[in-house]
Structure 1
Amino acid sequence: MTDRAPNFIDDEQLVERVKRALLSMQRFSWEQGVAAQAMLESGDSELAILLARDAVVRQDASGKLGVMNDGYSVTDSAANGEAVAYAAKLTGDPMFVQAEASMLAWLLHQAPRTEEGILHHVVDKPQVWIDSFYMAPPFLAVCGYYKEAVKQIDGYWKLLWDPEARLFSHIWDDGAKSFVRKAHWGVGNGWAAAGMVRVLDSLPASMKVERNRISGYLLETIDGCLLHMREDGLFHDVMDDAETFVETNAAQMLSYTIYRAIGMGLLGDGYTRYADDMRRAARGRVDSNGLVQGSCAAPFFDRPGTAPESQAFFMLMESAARSLALISANRAGEAGASTENGKGGES
């Protein structure tokens, strides 16, 4: 069905429908990983741990988590790492502890890389994909490998950022020293933005230089994308190509990133209106089954439709919007209390 969603009773019901649809769809390692992240950020830790457990059940001999027939990927399985690390810390279960260590060992010591040490995206080709921005660095940062996480982001920025377009390109072949796909894929730019904000959330304050540098990358990315935001709050599948279809998930990914960045003090409140417009547009594309329509569609990503990562990012966007609303309310309350205290001191 593609009919638009009916008038839902409340936001909670809408998110629950999107969650239910997500659980019916997620299959591959990155899909399971981003689904588990959505559960963690929406407060459903029990379901996140169940997803983490299944990712461990499907961990292959290399240490990659949640592998089905996507063992060709280098970094996708690391998207499960945050939920597995959370489960390991919460439960102390040796199964999760060993699974986390094995996933880290793959990334740190076995995974194929460029000569500069930047992770490839597929095992049989020396290719760097923008997708990896989101898959590996946040997990590395959560586990305390801060320098490695920063190194990967710096490397992806160097290889994939197009300064003239102010957008990221999709796939670089480091063997041929040329792009396999130079197009500025909207969801790809969303992966990059969301990956950076997740890393920044984990980096310690002592890494001020690195935090400032990545914050600069993030601002450049958001501002570059906003140049191509349509009046309806959405983007084209290839952001700077109006001949490509109008796509939903890039808006969700950027809305999520902006909400989180504002809450972390990385962006000013003036960006809220852009995130709100994107969120409003995405909510209008949820159908009566809870499916986010018009997304870059799984499994081929060459047409509009539905995708597990789009379901997950709807949930992530909603969680980030709620969190920012609470932060803003608390800040307003503290400011009001400060003003009242100041008046009391003068009287």
Structure 2
Amino acid sequence: MRKAFLVFSLLANVGERLTSRSTTQKYICTLKSGPAPPLAISLINGAILSEVRANAIAISQFSWEIGTVTEALLEYSWPQLSVFNAAASIPPARDLFTSDYPTDVVNIATTVVQNKPNDSLPLVPDSAVGDPASIGPAVLLANWTRNDTSDTRFSIDAGSQLNYLLNQAPRTSDGAISHRSDQVQLWSDFVYMAPPFIAYFGAYEQGDANMTYLLQAAYDQCRLYRQYLQDNSTKLWKHIELGSYQDNNLWATGNGWAAAGMLRVRQTISLSNVSSSFVNQQTDLLNWVEEIVKASWTHQTSDGALRNVINDSGSFKDSSSTALIASATFRLAVLKGDNTTYISSANAAYDYVSSNIDSGGWLRNTVDPLTFYSLSDPNTPSPEGQSFVLLLESARRDFQDWVDTNATLPSGGMAVNSLVSQGS
């Protein structure tokens, strides 16, 4: 029996608390040891990364694209505020230094809140349940750091989004929240969209029993989705289960969504003040991510790519999912303290992705995110692919920082170029 979350009690105080795939509407963003193998020299210079970043912001329009680009911007441009910064706090300091203030992320969140219809519980009206929730962490961050403390729109809208997920959206009988609003249907994409928001909202609930409930709820969604979608023989995840149609292909991007989403949930739990009560859950999440990473790289091609359907040798090579799974691999290496097992694969993937970025900062040879099984039209680049490049660059940079700090590179080993110092 599903436990009801009393959102009305939270909403009654939310201003005080938070201040102290298909879509029906789109919004335009206006704004274990042993030495690690040396990282290959970057093929992406800082100027190109600046173009990648600008392009990602410019073309992200659908709800999940907006949520993904806000997370990519946090990890790339504002890493001090990312959940992957072990020294970060949730919530962050109210009065951030100018150099720490995530202006672009806040501007995007503000645009979404300003355009949200009054009669919509989700942040963006959408036929996908999970996708609008991906913008939720940016809205919470904007609310916490805003100058006008009398403006309650951000806190109320974030609370409404949470209310929709936990109390209104369709579910399976055992509690898995549907990714679709018109039927009970589970998509691997959901794991990147909704559970990180649920966990992030919970981490803001400092000293409140709601924190424990929400962190557990985020973990439970990951657990249930794995239960339904994991292919027992490969340990990779199917794309879509239940509902009026299924997609049992082991779609690479879907596996990347799942791995990256579970990492964010795990890190949000670890930054909370009840993390010591969630030791087993944190271990589970890392192990579940490793299942995907390990299985994915066994199908890597000789030039470093992953195929759109990971285990199908006839499927085309996809630079987008290759970037996302490589980013999760670098993150996993730091969190598990293992700087060797999958790093050669991640480095090869990085070089493959680098070779597919053109002089204008566009990632080429990506899957079309709306069809799942065809290449993007050359004139219609993938917005999520642009963000995945930033996620990959951020994860690789942070991996190198961790290696340097822990002195685990062999003497004389080649370190990754500092792309940030080259200009971004």
Q: 2:180 aligns with which of 102, 122, 125?
A: 122
Cα separation, 2, equivalents of 1:241 and 1:58:
42
Equivalent in the alignment of 1:312: 387
**1:255, 1:317 within 8 Å by CA — same for their partners in 2?**
yes
Matched pairs, number = 321
Q: 2:64 aligns with which of 30, 37, 42?
A: 30
Q: How far 1:267 moved relative to its partner?
A: 4.1
Judging by fraction of residues, say which structure has more strand. 1
Which residue identity does 1:57 align to in structure 2? Answer: Q
- TM-score for both structures, normalised by structure 1: 0.87
Cα 1:270–1:65, aligned 2, differ >3 Å: closer, same or farther?
A: same
Which residue identity does 1:40 align to in structure 2? Answer: L
Q: How far 1:199 moved relative to its partner?
A: 0.9
**2:100 aligned with 1:84, yes or no?**
no
**1:215, 1:266 within 8 Å by CA — same for their partners in 2?**
no
Could you report, residue by residue, the CA deviation over 1:319-343 in whole angstroms, capped at 9, with x for unpaired residues? Answer: 111112122222229xx9xxxxxxx
Q: How far 1:266 moved relative to its partner?
A: 5.6
**2:170, 2:183 within 8 Å by CA — same for their partners in 1?**
no
Q: How far 1:87 moved relative to its partner?
A: 1.2
Which residue identity does 1:74 align to in structure 2? Answer: V
**1:140, 1:149 within 8 Å by CA — same for their partners in 2?**
yes
- Structural RMSD (CA): 2.0
**2:43, 2:351 within 8 Å by CA — same for their partners in 1?**
no
Q: How far 1:10 moved relative to its partner?
A: 6.6
**1:57, 1:66 within 8 Å by CA — same for their partners in 2?**
no
Cα separation, 1, equivalents of 2:44 and 2:312:
36
Q: 1:14 aligns with which of 44, 48, 71?
A: 48
Equivalent in the alignment of 1:272: 343
Cα separation, 2, equivalents of 1:266 and 1:55:
38
Could you report, residue by residue, the CA deviation over 1:149-184 in whole angstroms, capped at 9, with x for unpaired residues? Answer: 01100110010000112211111115x7xx611111
Equivalent in the alignment of 1:188: 254
Q: How far 1:235 moved relative to its partner?
A: 1.1
Q: 1:202 aligns with which of 240, 251, 268?
A: 268
**2:129, 2:179 within 8 Å by CA — same for their partners in 1?**
yes
Q: 2:197 aligns with which of 126, 139, 164?
A: 139
Judging by fraction of residues, say which structure has more helix. 1
Cα separation, 1, equivalents of 2:43 and 2:104:
24
Which residue identity does 1:244 align to in structure 2? Answer: S
Could you report, residue by residue, the CA deviation over 1:89-126 in whole angstroms, capped at 9, with x for unpaired residues? Answer: 22255222222111111111111111111111111122
Q: 1:168 aligns with which of 237, 242, 245?
A: 237
Cα 1:205–1:258, aligned 2, differ >3 Å: closer, same or farther?
A: farther
| Structure 1 residues without counterparts, runs of 5 or longer | 1-7, 337-347
**1:141, 1:149 within 8 Å by CA — same for their partners in 2?**
yes
Which residue identity does 1:77 align to in structure 2? Answer: P
| Structure 2 residues without counterparts, runs of 5 or longer | 1-41, 79-101, 203-213, 270-274, 412-424
**1:260, 1:320 within 8 Å by CA — same for their partners in 2?**
yes
Equivalent in the alignment of 2:401: 326
**2:286, 2:332 within 8 Å by CA — same for their partners in 1?**
no
Higher relative contact order (CA 8 A, sep 6+): 2
Cα 1:128–1:216, aligned 2, differ >3 Å: closer, same or farther?
A: same
Identity of aligned residues (%): 28
Which residue identity does 1:331 align to in structure 2? Answer: N
Q: How far 1:258 moved relative to its partner?
A: 1.2
**2:110 aligned with 1:53, yes or no?**
yes
Equivalent in the alignment of 2:164: 106
SS of the aligned residue for 1:80 comes to: helix
**1:32, 1:66 within 8 Å by CA — same for their partners in 2?**
no
Equivalent in the alignment of 1:42: 76
